[in-house]
């Protein structure tokens, strides 16, 4: 890895930004209710204004803070001197721009964290100067006395416009590093999603540089692109993630995931599952020694592209030897009895299998599958302790109840038997 994310964004801020903008004079049509509850339409003419967020983080109300700092400031909102219900923002006349920035300067000096986008700040100052509301000296004074920051979303937008592979790699590493340092689960999830989003963007930018890219090139874009191979080591990048979702379907990425020693949970979600893709997923699961929870999501997938008895074969083959997976979710697929029995019998034949939970919710099962599950239990064969068979309409209530009683008894006996 030759690019450190800090070389791209040394001052980049992830804080909740304070948004504001210069808006030219306009007319606004809106409806109100009179004292009798009758609807009245009116047109309000607004001068040039500065519109801004009502709060910094959805909680701290800025209107009152501005008034405390600069009592003369006029919060012209909708229709006037009221909260702007139409836009959800406040506005002040552009002629009071100096008071607006005076309030911001005062709040920052008082220690209030107001994160202002450098890009938005400069654009607003330029518009105010262009329309005669601020002089060049006043603009310069604001630039030197008010703190602004390069925001991550501004950097991301520029990288997307440029389609720069080098900068996209830097952003992917930036979010990977944030994932590793995050303490809160929600922050880790957000960082993981962004890291993988940029991984997808890197592949897309690389392919766009290759005219008429074939499916073969799409699977091997990393090793066939010298620039990309120099910038990013896939194995090194993915090592450290404990759970991942929305994974690119290129063969190189899936192979690297199979070698990742830290990965515990994998959520795969694609628009469809053909034999080629499921074979790649099977190869990933065959390589892994760490992944414990696997979801192959079929939600929202067209019926013809869901996992079925034919495409599931590579997964079933892996389950004959895999010794790490404990939870497997292949719900809402079109496995039917044939596909479900491939999975169950693969688990039964694997003495090292650790699968305790198998989700077969809405998989077109019938009594045939459930009766075979019970036969395996009666034979003393290995079977997951919990198999979700709900919402399989062709499974009769009597068979489902018989299976549930046998499963519960078998589980109780297994847990009570001394190891």
CATH code where residue 237 lies: 3.80.10.10
Range of the domain at 140: 12-152
- Give domain status of residue 382, yes or no: yes
Domain boundary among 97, 120, 152: 152
Provide CB contacts within 8 A for 17, sequence distance 6+. 115, 116, 117, 120, 151, 153
Cα distance from N-terminal residue to C-terminal residue, the chain: 48
- Using DSSP, state whether 379 is helix, strand or coil: coil
Pick 372 or 13 by higher pLDDT: 372
What is the b/e burial string over 91-122, where b = at least 16 CB atoms within 10 angstroms of the residue's CB?
A: bbbbebbbbbbbbbbebeeeeeebbbbbbbbe
- Within 10 A of 328 (CB to CB), how many other CB atoms are there? 24
- pLDDT at 283 > cutoff 80: yes
DSSP codes, 36-79: TS-EEEEEEEE-SEEEEESBSSSSSBHHHHHHHH-TT-----SS
- Within 10 A of 169 (CB to CB), how many other CB atoms are there? 27
Residue 269 sits in the same domain as residue 336: yes
Provide CB contacts within 8 A for 135, sequence distance 6+. 129
% residues pLDDT > 70 (the chain)? 82
- Give domain status of residue 4, yes or no: no
Residue 91 sits in the same domain as residue 226: no
Residue 322 sits in the same domain as residue 406: yes
Residue 75 sits in the same domain as residue 204: no
Residue 23 sits in the same domain as residue 118: yes
Residue with tokens 């330029």: 126
* Per-residue model confidence (pLDDT) at position 387: 95
* Per-residue model confidence (pLDDT) at position 76: 60
Average pLDDT, the chain: 85
- pLDDT at 419 > cutoff 90: no
* Per-residue model confidence (pLDDT) at position 18: 83
Query: 333, exposed or middle or buried, with CB in 10 Å at 0-12, 13-18, 19+?
Result: buried
State the pTM of this model.
0.76
Asked if 220 and 250 touch (Cβ cutoff 8 Å), the reply is: yes
Residue 230 sits in the same domain as residue 189: yes
Structure tokens at 292: 């414990």
Of residues 228, 166, 156, the one with CA closest to residue 197: 156
* Per-residue model confidence (pLDDT) at position 137: 95
- Give domain status of residue 5, yes or no: no
- pLDDT at 356 > cutoff 80: yes
Domain boundary among 105, 128, 152: 152
Residue with tokens 């759970």: 243
Asked if 219 and 237 touch (Cβ cutoff 8 Å), the reply is: no
Q: What is the mean pLDDT of residues 124-130?
A: 95
Residue with tokens 């509301």: 133
Q: What is the mean pLDDT of residues 60-86?
A: 64
What is the Cα–Cα distance from 61 to 55, expressed in whole angstroms? Answer: 5
- pLDDT at 375 > cutoff 90: yes
- The kind and range of the H/E element at 136 are helix 136-145
- Give domain status of residue 386, yes or no: yes
Structure tokens at 32: 């109100």
DSSP codes, 191-223: HHHHHHHHHHHHHHHHHHTSTT--HHHHHTTTT
Name 245's bridge partners: 267
- pLDDT at 86 > cutoff 50: no
Residue 144 sits in the same domain as residue 196: no
Of residues 409, 405, 385, the one with CA closest to residue 397: 405
* Per-residue model confidence (pLDDT) at position 317: 97
Query: 186, exposed or middle or buried, with CB in 10 Å at 0-12, 13-18, 19+?
Result: exposed
Residue 188 sits in the same domain as residue 129: no
Q: What is the mean pLDDT of residues 279-294?
A: 96
What is the Cα–Cα distance from 246 to 115, expressed in whole angstroms? Answer: 31
Residue 137 sits in the same domain as residue 202: no
Q: What is the mean pLDDT of residues 373-381?
A: 91
* Per-residue model confidence (pLDDT) at position 4: 47
Residue 245 sits in the same domain as residue 379: yes
Asked if 18 and 115 touch (Cβ cutoff 8 Å), the reply is: yes
- pLDDT at 395 > cutoff 70: yes
Pick 218 or 276 by higher pLDDT: 276
Strand 49-53, strand 39-46: pairing: unpaired
The model's pLDDT over 299-353, given as tens digits with 9 standing for 90+, comes to 999 999 999 999 999 999 999 999 999 999 999 999 999 999 999 999 999 999 9
What is the Cα–Cα distance from 81 to 83, expressed in whole angstroms? Answer: 7
- pLDDT at 11 > cutoff 70: no
Task: Name the percent of the chain in helix, strand, coil, to the closest 5.
Answer: 45, 15, 40
Residue 163 sits in the same domain as residue 230: yes
The model's pLDDT over 29-48, given as tens digits with 9 standing for 90+, comes to 555 555 566 666 666 667 88
- pLDDT at 417 > cutoff 60: no
Residue 146 sits in the same domain as residue 186: no
- pLDDT at 410 > cutoff 80: no
Residue with tokens 């003369």: 72
- Give domain status of residue 6, yes or no: no
**Contacts of the segment 176-182: beta carbons below 8 A, 24+ positions apart:** 176/237, 176/240, 176/241, 177/5, 178/14, 179/240, 179/241, 180/240
pLDDT band at 81 (very low <50, low <70, confident <90, very high): very low
pLDDT band at 416 (very low <50, low <70, confident <90, very high): low
* Per-residue model confidence (pLDDT) at position 132: 94
What is the Cα–Cα distance from 370 to 171, expressed in whole angstroms? Answer: 49
- Give domain status of residue 54, yes or no: yes
Number of compact structural domains in the chain: 2
Pick 316 or 12 by higher pLDDT: 316
The model's pLDDT over 143-175, given as tens digits with 9 standing for 90+, comes to 999 998 888 888 888 899 999 888 899 999 999
What is the Cα–Cα distance from 235 to 240, expressed in whole angstroms? Answer: 10
- pLDDT at 21 > cutoff 50: yes
The model's pLDDT over 203-243, given as tens digits with 9 standing for 90+, comes to 888 887 665 544 444 556 777 777 787 888 999 999 999 99
- Give domain status of residue 76, yes or no: yes
- Give domain status of residue 116, yes or no: yes
């Amino acid at each position: 890895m030759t690019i450190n994310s800090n070389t791209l964004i040394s001052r980049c801020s992830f804080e909740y930004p304070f948004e504001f903008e210069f808006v030219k004079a306009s007319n606004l049509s809106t409806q109100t209710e009179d004292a009798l509850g009758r609807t009245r339409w009116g047109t309000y003419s607004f001068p040039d204004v500065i519109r801004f967020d009502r709060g910094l983080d959805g909680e701290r109300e800025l209107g009152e803070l501005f008034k405390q700092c600069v009592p003369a400031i006029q919060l012209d909102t909708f229709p006037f001197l009221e909260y702007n219900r139409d836009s959800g923002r406040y506005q002040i006349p552009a002629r009071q721009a100096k008071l607006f920035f005076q309030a911001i300067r005062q709040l920052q000096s008082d220690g209030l964290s107001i994160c202002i986008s450098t890009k938005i700040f400069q654009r607003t100052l330029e518009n105010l100067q262009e329309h005669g509301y601020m002089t060049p000296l006043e603009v310069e004074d604001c630039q030197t006395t008010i703190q602004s920051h390069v925001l991550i979303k501004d950097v991301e937008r520029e990288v997307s416009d440029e389609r720069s592979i080098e900068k996209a790699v830097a952003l992917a590493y930036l979010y990977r590093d944030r994932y590793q340092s995050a303490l809160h689960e929600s922050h880790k999830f957000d960082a993981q999603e962004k890291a993988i989003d940029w991984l997808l963007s890197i592949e897309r930018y690389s392919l766009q540089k290759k005219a008429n890219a074939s499916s073969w090139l799409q699977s091997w874009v990393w090793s066939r692109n010298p620039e990309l191979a120099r910038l990013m080591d896939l194995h090194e990048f993915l090592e450290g993630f404990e759970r991942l979702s929305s994974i690119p379907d290129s063969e190189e990425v899936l192979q690297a995931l199979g070698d990742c020693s830290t990965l515990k949970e994998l959520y795969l979600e694609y628009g469809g599952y053909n034999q080629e893709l499921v074979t790649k997923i099977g190869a990933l699961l065959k390589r892994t020694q760490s992944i414990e929870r696997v979801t192959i999501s079929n939600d929202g997938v067209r019926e013809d592209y869901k996992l079925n008895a034919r495409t599931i074969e590579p997964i079933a083959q892996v389950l004959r030897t895999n010794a790490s997976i404990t939870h497997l979710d292949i719900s809402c697929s079109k496995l039917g009895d044939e596909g479900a029995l491939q999975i169950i019998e693969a688990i039964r034949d694997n003495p090292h299998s650790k699968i305790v939970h198998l989700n077969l919710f809405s998989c077109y099962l019938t009594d045939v599958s459930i009766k075979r599950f019970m036969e395996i239990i009666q034979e003393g064969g290995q079977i997951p302790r919990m198999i979700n068979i709900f919402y399989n309409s062709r499974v009769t209530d009597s068979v489902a109840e018989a299976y549930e009683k046998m499963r519960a008894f078998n589980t109780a006996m297994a847990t009570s038997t001394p190891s």
